[in-house]
Amino acid sequence: MDANGITVKFNNYGQQFSNNRLYLTGVLTDKDKPDSYNMNIELVKKSTGTKITVPQVLGKAQKVYMGGSSTTYLDNVEGEMKVSNKKWNNFTFAGDLVTPDGVDPKNSRLQFTVKGDLVADNSKIGVNNMGAGGVSGLSLTYDFKEKALVGSCHIDQETDFAEISADVEMYIGGSKWYIFSNGVANNIKSSPISQAALGMMLGNASLSSEQINSLHTHFRNEVPPSFDNNFKAIKGVLFIVSIDVPIPIVPTFNIDLDPVAHYLKHGIYGNFYFNAGFSTQKEDLSMAIGGRLGGYVNVGAGASIGLACASIALGTDIHADVAGKLAPFNTKGDPKIQLDLGVTFTLTGEAYVGAGICNSSCQTPCVDIGFTELCSPIPCVKVGISKGITVGVSAEMTEKEIRLKADSTQK
């Protein structure tokens, strides 16, 4: 029997026909990729209708192994396919997702509909020991080439961390699986900030370069080297939250009214991140952590007399970093606390003069005429200097010692 992307091969075991009731048993597989999944089925045809179901086998619910994987499968499988208006509808089946690490099968029910592709809808993924709830509303398709479920969704849900609104990408295949997102968190728990940018990854996988670069956007300036070292792979949960808000009370402005322009921009920024594992043995519990808190002020002014201009800009940034690992129950003799602490101060300055047709920012003036910009045929040519200095103080700390060091650079 072939219908709507599935094939059923009936056998002679238990065949029955009596009182206008036909009962058959067989094995159901995918029509195009018969090795991708299979399950025992029952067909019952009687006067009230015809239906295929997935029964228990020897009193136990069936397991369905996806794509030949021996480690990732669906447990407690149920399925159904009916005849409606003399045509078979699509075969639908559901089961509890079981993977080697991390997924909570009691809170991870996947439902599939065979539509040429193997599409998962009305599905939910839960994670062990993370208190992250179930990620629901998933739209997943089984990629037979990758032997994995891949897909995406948008989530709006409350977790133990915050209320999250984010676009999500997902991959489940063999021992590798992850849920990755970058979005916005509201009503953040135990924090004075109500809203922040949020990056999160759950699973057991290495991060791709695209995923790492996406997380780099949570840093206003250079990314600490320890971040990439400690966050290149996860076996648990990775979480990063960042903010960039104006300094309270102090106004900001950006006025560009030729022949004079001036601006004042400032802000407080920061982030916090951690990478925690799935382990339930307290002696194996460890967490890579990090954070940054800083502030900046940028001020500038410029003037133009049409054929000449001058401008000056000053900027300052100071931030403190902390990064390291915590293993509070470690019994192997390694440090229970390993932290790198640092404070970095950066001062920059620029001064320019220009000649030609110049505006107050020492740029060639242009006018937006709707479909394009019309610029002066005589450009503004500017020359000047740009200098900066960075001074840093850092320390390495364990529960036994602290080491200090300082450095500075100029450009």
Decide if 395 is inside a domain.
yes
- Taking the C-alpha atoms of residue 74 and residue 99, their distance in angstroms, rounded to an integer, is 9
Which range marks the domain in which residue 290 is found? 245-411
Does this model's pTM top 0.85? My answer is no
Contact assessment for residue 159 and residue 165, using Cβ atoms and an 8 Å cutoff: no
When the pLDDT of each residue in the chain is averaged and rounded to a whole number, the result is 76
The pLDDT assigned to 132 comes to 42
In 3D space, the residue among 30, 44, 31, 75 whose CA is nearest the CA of residue 57 turns out to be 75
Decide if 254 is inside a domain.
yes
Residue 285 burial class via C-beta count within 10 angstroms: exposed 0-12, middle 13-18, buried 19 and up: middle
- Taking the C-alpha atoms of residue 391 and residue 405, their distance in angstroms, rounded to an integer, is 11
Decide if 408 is inside a domain.
yes
- Taking the C-alpha atoms of residue 50 and residue 393, their distance in angstroms, rounded to an integer, is 76
Kindly state the average pLDDT of the residues 260-267: 70
Kindly state the average pLDDT of the residues 166-184: 77
Beta bridge partners of 85: none
Kindly state the average pLDDT of the residues 107-118: 72
Three-state SS letters, the chain: CEECCEEEEECCCCCEEECCEEEEEEEEEECCCCCCCEEEEEEEEECCEEEEECCCECCECEEEEHHHCCCCEEEEEEEEEEEECCEECCCEEEEEEECCCCECHHHCEEEEEEECEEEEECCEEEECCCCCCEEECCEEEEECCCCEEEEEEEEEEECCCCEEEEEEEEEEECCEEEEEEEEEEECCCCCCCCEEEEEEEEEEEECCHHHHHHHHCCCCCCCCHHHHHHCCEEEEEEEEEEEEECCCCCCCEEEEECCEEEEEEEEEEEEEEEEEECCCCHHHCCEEEEEEEEEEEEEEEEEECCCEEEEEEEEEEEEEEEEEEECCCCCCCCCCEEEEEEEEEEEEEEEEEEECCCCCCCCCCEEECCCCEEECCCCCEEEEEEEEEEEEEEEEEECCCEEEEEEEEEC
- Residue 392 is encoded by which pair of tokens? 């840093």
- Taking the C-alpha atoms of residue 123 and residue 108, their distance in angstroms, rounded to an integer, is 8
Check whether 379 has a pLDDT greater than 80: yes
The pLDDT assigned to 354 comes to 84
The pLDDT assigned to 130 comes to 42
Check whether 326 has a pLDDT greater than 50: yes
Decide if 318 is inside a domain.
yes
Between 172 and 212, whose confidence is greater?
212
Least confident of 30-44, 49-63, 123-137, 254-268: 123-137
In 3D space, the residue among 319, 320, 321, 300 whose CA is nearest the CA of residue 311 turns out to be 300
Residues 6+ apart with CB under 8 A from 85: none
The pLDDT assigned to 55 comes to 86
Task: Count the domains in the chain.
Answer: 1
Q: How confident is the model at residue 92 (pLDDT cuts 50, 70, 90)?
A: confident
Decide if 207 is inside a domain.
no
Residue 315 burial class via C-beta count within 10 angstroms: exposed 0-12, middle 13-18, buried 19 and up: middle
Decide if 76 is inside a domain.
no
- Taking the C-alpha atoms of residue 122 and residue 110, their distance in angstroms, rounded to an integer, is 7
Check whether 30 has a pLDDT greater than 60: yes
Q: How confident is the model at residue 193 (pLDDT cuts 50, 70, 90)?
A: low
Q: How confident is the model at residue 171 (pLDDT cuts 50, 70, 90)?
A: confident
Percentage of the chain lying above the pLDDT 70 cut? 73
Kindly state the average pLDDT of the residues 223-249: 79
Residues 269-307 have pLDDT tens digits of 888 887 776 655 666 666 788 888 888 888 887 777 777
Contact assessment for residue 173 and residue 70, using Cβ atoms and an 8 Å cutoff: no
The pLDDT assigned to 134 comes to 47
Decide if 335 is inside a domain.
yes
Q: How confident is the model at residue 129 (pLDDT cuts 50, 70, 90)?
A: very low
Residues 244-262 have pLDDT tens digits of 777 655 555 455 555 556 6
The pLDDT assigned to 369 comes to 81
Decide if 224 is inside a domain.
no
Q: How confident is the model at residue 349 (pLDDT cuts 50, 70, 90)?
A: confident
Q: How confident is the model at residue 406 (pLDDT cuts 50, 70, 90)?
A: low
The pLDDT assigned to 140 comes to 61
